[in-house]
Amino acid sequence: MAPALAQAGDAAAGQAVYQRKCMGCHGEKGDGKGPAAELLDPKPRDFTSGIYKIRTTSTRMPSDQDLFRVLTEGMPGTSMPPWAVLPERDRWNLIAYIKSFASEKFKEAPKKLELPKEVGASAESIKRGREMFEAIECNKCHGADGRADGPSRPELKDEWGQPIKPANLTKRWTFRGGPSRAAIATRLAAGVLGTPMPAFLDSVEKPDDIWHLANYIASLGPAAPAYGTLLTATAVGEAIPDDPQAELWKKMVGQNIPLMGQVIADPRNFNPSIDLVTVRAAYNDREIAFHLTWDDPTESKPDGKQTFADAIALQFPPALEPGGERPYVLMGDAAEAVYQLRWDSGKGVSEVTANGPTRVRALAGSEATGKAVYANGQYQVVIKRGLGAQDASRPTFRPAVFTPIAFQAWDGGAGETGTRLSLTSWYYLRLEEPQSKARFVIPPVVALLALGAMLVIVWAANRRGLSVS
């Protein structure tokens, strides 16, 4: 976080830091054309343009504190990392040097943006914010539920003609200006320069509406994702529904698992579309089921040419050996295969075995089933199969056993197919042990025995009293 007062930096000293840490992306001339720029999406900032997205000012230029904050905290969802590891003096020197690329535009001191008086996040405020969200057509870009799936999404471009994605408003931890209500209100009031996101302070009916809208956006998702570590399958004594919107799944708490771009093998995926899957799992005496939820701005219908299938895979070792090595996480290798339960928008559910990305084979006689629902930029999918294994290519799921599990996902609408995917490392899945029915029987029996013992004691005491008389 920036200190209260900005410090004057030394541009000459900042140049040395820039050449070591920044030039690879932003280029020697600060024009965003460094040697790594071709691989990056979004592209690195062109400092010579003097256009900066994140500002707390009412003028076009950011304050030094704004630049310091971005430099220190980074830009979530981009290749711009946080540089808090640099000494504070180096960061101020860097800012002085970066400003020199457009020094004429920084001559006039920027004016701080004054927000309207803060409005608390009440139910009434959030309701008004929802009305404003629709009235000023935020949904055209960000979608009806804020998942970046609005109808204008395919047409959006930035100041330099590059395609640009709207923010997914349900994932506040990815907001580049910060996830707080104040940060959101500032973005709404000031806009995001160089993007289609305009300033709304003069567009709303009343100044308070900026806070109502910020309160509504903040209500769409958490400030942090609370990632899971160990996945648990809940034991149920009933049939498991394959409807992703069934009541059973709504009652279960999901585990958020982060995904990253696959950069191990060509073709690599440096800018993955799918970054999180929420997992629920349940089993009974016959089968196990997985309920998967993830955001995808388009429902892709594969055509075999330009549009690929949306897909997700759950990956397991085919056999579980205590203390054994887990297979290579990217679909196994020549020495050791993996088993996958897959769903894709073209073929539905299948079981496959793989010895690497180029050696994937469908398993015959699959009894796995599933159902998918897509709505407002989000998939919900249930995949089910029997607990037992039909053959050695398939794993058996047993209670109280820690089973390695990994996930892979493809957004076909973003051109993801083959090794252009998102993936996780290995996690563990544990089927919780079924609770014994004895827990319903033993307490009443103990209570009856205790009552019986008390009656015997009372009866014996009464007998002694009568004998004395």
Which whole number is the average pLDDT over 336-364?
A: 98
Residue (of 391, 382, 290, 289) closest to 339 by Cα position: 391
Range of the domain at 359: 230-431
pLDDT of 88 over the 50 cut:
yes
Is residue 301 in some structural domain?
Answer: yes
Instruction: Please state, in angstroms and rounded to a whole number, the distance separating the CA atoms of residues 27 and 68.
Output: 20
Name the residue with tokens 């993007």. Answer: 195
Instruction: Please state, in angstroms and rounded to a whole number, the distance separating the CA atoms of residues 307 and 303.
Output: 6
Q: What is the CATH number of the domain that holds 263?
A: 2.60.40.1190
Is residue 61 domain-shared with residue 198, that is, in the same domain? no
Instruction: Please state, in angstroms and rounded to a whole number, the distance separating the CA atoms of residues 81 and 36.
Output: 14
| Predicted pLDDT of residue 171 | 98
Which residues, listed in sequence order, are joined to residue 374 by a DSSP beta bridge? 379
- Find the DSSP H helices in 74-208: 88-99, 123-135, 139-142, 181-190
Is residue 207 domain-shared with residue 236, that is, in the same domain? no
Inter-residue contact 279 to 255 (CB < 8 Å): yes
In the chain, pLDDT over 90 holds for what percent of residues? 85
pLDDT digits (tens, 9 = 90+) for 179-199: 999 999 999 999 999 999 999
pTM across the whole model = 0.89
Q: Given 106, 135, 153, which residue is the final one in a domain?
A: 106
In the chain, pLDDT over 70 holds for what percent of residues? 92
Residue (of 420, 394, 166, 151) closest to 311 by Cα position: 420
Is residue 395 domain-shared with residue 274, that is, in the same domain? yes
| Predicted pLDDT of residue 71 | 97
Is residue 450 domain-shared with residue 424, that is, in the same domain? no
pLDDT of 423 over the 60 cut:
yes
- The domain total for the chain is 4
